[in-house]
Structure 1
Amino acid sequence: MEEIRITTEYIKLDALLKLCGVVITGGQAKAAIQDGHVQVNGELCTMRGRKIRAGDSVQVAGRGFKVEKCL
């Protein structure tokens, strides 16, 4: 599982997918999320604006990401 560091309290799911390089555009992020290809903490998530916080994990396209807070 890859570690992603954020400096804010949270990051929206669609922005996280772009940050991780899983998608290039917001439209691609929206499609991946709405088509049911994204799991947050092991559960299917179809809300692209979901707030992802430190400690959450995201799985998409065979890749896993763990979000950590960077001070």
Structure 2
Amino acid sequence: MNEFKLEGEFIPMIQLLKACALVGSGGEAQLVVEDGLVKYNGQTDYRKRLKVRRGDVIEFNGRQIRVV
């Protein structure tokens, strides 16, 4: 599992996917979220603007990212 160091209070889901290089663009990030390919704390989540905070775990394409 990889870790992402959060600098503020939260990061929107699509920005996190881009920042972790899980997708190539914001448009791609929106599509994978809309298609239900991203899990947020173990549950499929369709919210592109979801506020991801410290302690959350994101799963996509076989990779896990823990926000610290």
Q: Report TM bin, short chain.
A: over 0.9
- Backbone CA RMSD of aligned residues: 0.4
Q: Which runs of 4+ in 1 moved over 4 A?
A: none
Structure 2 length as normaliser, TM-score? 0.98
Amino acid at match of 1:65: I
- Helix, strand or coil at the partner of 2:64: strand
Name the counterpart of 1:36: 36
**Runs of at least 5 residues in structure 2 that lack an aligned partner in the other structure:** none
The count of aligned residue pairs is 68
Structure 1 length as normaliser, TM-score? 0.94
1:11-68 CA deviation, whole Å, 9 max, x = no partner? 0000000000011111000000000100000000000000000000000010000000
Sequence identity, in percent? 35
